[in-house]
Amino acid sequence: MPVDPYILLLLGTVGLAALFPARGTGAEVASGASTAAVALLFFLYGARLSTREALDGLRHWRLHLTILACTFLVFPLLGLAARGLAPVLTDPLYQGLLFLTLVPSTVQSSIAFTSIARGNVPAAICAGSFSSLVGILATPLLAASLLGNSGGGFSTDSLVKIVLQLLVPFLAGQLLRRWIGGFLARHRQVLGLVDRGSILLVVYTAFSAGMVEGVWQRVSPARLAVLLAVEAVLLAVMLLLTWYGAKALGFDRGDRVAIQFAGSKKSLAAGLPMASVLFGAHASLAVLPLMLFHQMQLMVCAVIAKRRSKDPEVSAGPPAAGSRIAVGTGPRSG
């Protein structure tokens, strides 16, 4: 299975930070640029998310509540269940593992895999939009509760930073969507480069700070192997739970496909900027579990989606449209 090209860019950025970390004035400039980039990201997320079309999806509320419960309830519970591994992983790695269970689901890849598997594509679109919208509030609140109790150093100041750096720009984007939404839609490819470039800047700043502080000297290959094993188990549990749990709840095949792919994945695009605000200088280790999980979920879900497309109950027609949900354009978070 080929590696996601963007993951290669992320790894290249990590390598650049390792060889040429930002120091002194350079670090201050990079930090300021990263802060501005995160605010811009969430402004664009808000400006591109059609609230009206997302609200139309409430007609399929059982499906969306199921996906939200997987994303913001079941995932965090599994993260807490892994607390006993904290001494093995070290606290920063465990905090990163717990943090990845708190971030929203993906939009773009959930839609793509649901389409390949001939599932309910409109439901996947709305589910990703709902998850991104809810995550703006839910992720910081969950982090304040869970990371604060695990020694993550989360404080009221961190929550204020989240509000000012993420929520305020997001709401500003929503307010201005009426006037700038068309422009953003016409320049989607260019803005996609802005999105990804901003995230690369966040990664470079975080890993530069980690290199300067020497945090990577505390990570051994054995700990990384344990982390990968734990994440593989986490992904397997969520894939099985979303598929068979949705069946037990009475959802049809198209909805089950959407629930599996939207409910088992986590957004790198949303998680990295949030981590940079929450963890500051310790963000380099905190985002490592999310980066690894992101690539793992893409590789595994690509295989599952292809197999799902060959299910006997799939008709020879086009991918299922599922319920009558309006198809909107949410933020592209992978």
Residue 75 lies in a domain: yes
Residue 313 lies in a domain: no
By the 10 Å C-beta count (0-12 exposed, 13-18 middle, 19+ buried), 111 is classed as buried
Model confidence pLDDT, tens digit, residues 74-131: 999 999 999 888 788 888 889 899 999 999 998 778 888 998 898 988 888 788 778 8
Q: What is the domain range of residue 56? A: 5-308
**Amino acid code (one letter) for 211:** M
The Cα 269–Cα 199 span in angstroms is 7
Residue 150 lies in a domain: yes
Residue 9 lies in a domain: yes
**Is residue 318 predicted with pLDDT exceeding 50?**
no
**Amino acid code (one letter) for 106:** T
| Among 40, 310, 24, 300, residue whose Cα is nearest residue 194 | 40
Residues 263-274: what's their mean pLDDT?
88
The Cα 86–Cα 82 span in angstroms is 8
Residue 332 lies in a domain: no
| Domains identified in the chain, total number | 1
pLDDT, residue 332, reads 45
| Among 69, 143, 134, residue whose Cα is nearest residue 107 | 134
Residue 193 lies in a domain: yes
Is 0.75 topped by the overall pTM? Answer: yes
CA torsion angle 130 132 136 139 (round to 10): 100
pLDDT, residue 47, reads 84
By the 10 Å C-beta count (0-12 exposed, 13-18 middle, 19+ buried), 193 is classed as exposed
CB contact set of 157 (below 8 Å; sequence gap of 6+): none
Tokens read off for 129:
């939009």
Say how many C-beta atoms besides its own lie within 10 A of residue 194's C-beta: 14
Mean pLDDT of the chain: 82
The CATH number linked to 70 is: 1.20.1530.20
Residue 46 lies in a domain: yes
Residue 228 lies in a domain: yes
